[in-house]
Structure 1
Amino acid sequence: MDFDADLIRALQEDGRASIRSLAARLGQSRAAVAARLKAMLDDRTVRVVAAVDPVFLGQHVLAHVSIRTDGAVELVAEQLRDMNETVLVSAVGGAHDLVTEVRLGSMEELHDLLATIRAIDGILDINTIIYSTVVKGFFVSEYHGDITLDAIDEALIEQLQADGRQSFRALGDEVRLSPSAVATRVQRLIDGGVIKISAVEARGLAHRQLSMGVGINLGDDDDAVIDALRGGRGVDFAARTLGRFDAIATLVEPSAGALYASLERLRALPGVTRIEAWLHLAVLKEDYARTLRAPLSPE
């Protein structure tokens, strides 16, 4: 058993899980779980944060952009990191040098953004894949379309985007409500699909987890492949796509050998006709936080 990996996976499923429930699930003492979680949070190996569902934010267009540069990637990556539309920017090894995930309100906005990206000095060319359906993703919940937020809800979400494990008492102090009232509001936001609270793990060659992007072309048995991606233990993210691939996935494993084995399992699935992979060398931005309200005026 990999204690850290299993703890992180449990937090990806429920970022606010109690130490007691985590200890019971992992078969460890509460003291051991609390100490290990504190250490990982302190050194930023893991962040537990809330993300607002893209549909709730009006972000109906999600896309993956692969970029080739004509030199060092840092200056290009810096400009991509500064864009509000990017939630992920990563230096990769493969046919491209950088990949970014963008979220926007419309196809027109996507076209405008792609034109802006193409104009960045140092970019040779880009290739865009549009997500038609996200089938697995810790930061895409299922907004039900029937939730209205007030100023207190918005303030709670912004606090949880910074620290998804803040206590209900601490959150209550911020919004001047009792811990029980805060707990009710937070659960309503989660149950309604407005937010998802999950763990973000540092990935890349400098960290304990390696990450690989995979583009997949499918044959007739595409539903079986999608089901396999949805249930795959090493699959961090998966989506049906429009573009040069029929699906795209992110594999996360603790070693090169495990990553290779995970990729081989994908290659062997009936219905997979072709795979293209790229290794995430350094994840330079992974930020799902969005401002929902104007700052409160001091009383």
Structure 2
Amino acid sequence: MTAPDPIGTHHLDARILDQLRLDGRIGRNELSARLGVSRPTVSKRLDALLESGHTRVVGIVHPATVGLEALAHVSVSVEQPVRQVAARVAALPEVPYVSLISGRYPLIAEIRCGDAAELAAALDRIRSIDGVRDTNTLYYSDLMIDAGQPQKVAEAALDALDRRLLAQLQEDGRASYAILAAAAGTTPGTARMRVMRLIDEGIVRIGALSTPGHGDTEVAVGFGVRASGRVSGLSPLIAELPGVRFLAATIGRFDLLGTIFAPRLDEVVSALDRLRALRRVLEVDNWVHLDLMKEHYGAPMR
């Protein structure tokens, strides 16, 4: 029998993740002070989380900030083993997100492109993949809450150095200023000043992304909503539900698309009950994310 953990390791990991989602570059001393836990203990658990492969701290830029205006969610039915097909879909550069899910469609993917023509071409590439039988597409008319919750900055003034720094932060949001400077071809002082400006202006949000369903991490449940009337008044109410960390208005079989994260499925059930109880919600469909195959929101930084 395994002895109980006297310091509540899993609870501490969850608290560390909460802080990393708020500020992915938080220092170990400040993290220790916020949690009221010794620095060695916090460092040990932080290193374990980051080395597990299921938690990453990255910089995320809202797609509209860097000119990615055509976004879509694609549900895929397959006629070959789903992992094989998912790997082929995940290899496409326009696809930042691929997940295996429960339900009629065993695989979903997200496409992010510059315009409608690029999006149509990416959809054709997915439909042409060996093992893809059928696809069903939802076009995003508005991305209200993106993964990592970056802001939409309509007129971001980015020069070549900014873009090089953003490219590095998208790979490792906790990289030291010395590492960022070396990769971007500048000094640590300049790298620090530029990164702080990018964060302060909301151009990049640095936070933790964790893989649902591994160990004691969260579960993730996607949902699609059909609504009556205008969805503009409904979406803020859905955004306030506990655990909603992704929300988009869509054109297709759903009017709104989102994801709920929670430590336990019973908390997801409660959130979905509250969602169904909202006025103008006609129907709610949902699916469980079983295995995340790809999540990499590295927008092109030309």
TM range (shorter): 0.7 to 0.9
Specify the SS of the correspondent of 1:211. strand
Q: Do 1:54 and 1:140's aligned partners in 2 also have CA atoms closer than 8 Å?
A: no
How many equivalent residue pairs? Answer: 292
Which residue number in structure 1 is paired with residue 178 of structure 2?
169
Q: Do 1:95 and 1:278's aligned partners in 2 also have CA atoms closer than 8 Å?
A: no
Which residue number in structure 1 is paired with residue 66 of structure 2?
57
Which residue number in structure 1 is paired with residue 27 of structure 2?
18
Match of 1:208 among 209, 213, 217: 217
Cα deviation for residue 98 of structure 1 reads 0.5
Segment drifting more, 72-81 vs 205-214: 205-214
- Structure 1 residue identity aligned to 2:49: M
CA distance in 1, matches of 2:34, 2:238: 24
Cα deviation for residue 39 of structure 1 reads 1.2
- Structure 2 residue identity aligned to 1:292: M
Cα deviation for residue 75 of structure 1 reads 2.3
Match of 1:191 among 174, 190, 200: 200
Q: Do 2:210 and 2:217's aligned partners in 1 also have CA atoms closer than 8 Å?
A: no
Which residue number in structure 2 is paired with residue 156 of structure 1?
165
Q: Do 1:147 and 1:192's aligned partners in 2 also have CA atoms closer than 8 Å?
A: no
Cα deviation for residue 127 of structure 1 reads 0.7
Specify the SS of the correspondent of 2:77. strand
Specify the SS of the correspondent of 2:63. coil
> Using a 3 Å threshold, how does the CA distance of structure 1 residues 25 and 243 change in structure 2: closer, same or farther?
farther
Which residue number in structure 2 is paired with residue 280 of structure 1?
289
Which residue number in structure 2 is paired with residue 231 of structure 1?
240
Cα deviation for residue 220 of structure 1 reads 4.1
Q: Do 2:72 and 2:137's aligned partners in 1 also have CA atoms closer than 8 Å?
A: yes
CA distance in 2, matches of 1:133, 1:6: 31
CA distance in 2, matches of 1:6, 1:250: 21
CA distance in 2, matches of 1:108, 1:205: 37
CA distance in 2, matches of 1:270, 1:20: 46
TM-score by length of 1: 0.88
- Structure 1 residue identity aligned to 2:166: I
Q: Within 5 Å, which residues of 2 pair with 1:67-78?
A: 67-78=76-87
Cα deviation for residue 114 of structure 1 reads 1.6
> Using a 3 Å threshold, how does the CA distance of structure 1 residues 31 and 226 change in structure 2: closer, same or farther?
farther
Identity of aligned residues (%): 35
Match of 2:99 among 71, 90, 93: 90
> Using a 3 Å threshold, how does the CA distance of structure 1 residues 175 and 65 change in structure 2: closer, same or farther?
closer
Segment drifting more, 85-94 vs 175-184: 175-184
The answer to whether residue 38 in structure 2 is matched with residue 35 in structure 1 is: no
> Using a 3 Å threshold, how does the CA distance of structure 1 residues 96 and 205 change in structure 2: closer, same or farther?
farther
TM-score by length of 2: 0.87
CA distance in 2, matches of 1:181, 1:205: 38
Which residue number in structure 1 is paired with residue 157 of structure 2?
147
CA distance in 2, matches of 1:287, 1:50: 10
> Using a 3 Å threshold, how does the CA distance of structure 1 residues 189 and 266 change in structure 2: closer, same or farther?
same
- Structure 2 residue identity aligned to 1:84: P
Show structure 2 runs of 5+ residues with no match: 1-7
- Structure 2 residue identity aligned to 1:136: I
Aligned-residue RMSD, C-alpha? 2.3
The answer to whether residue 88 in structure 2 is matched with residue 79 in structure 1 is: yes
Cα deviation for residue 283 of structure 1 reads 0.6
Segment drifting more, 174-183 vs 3-12: 174-183
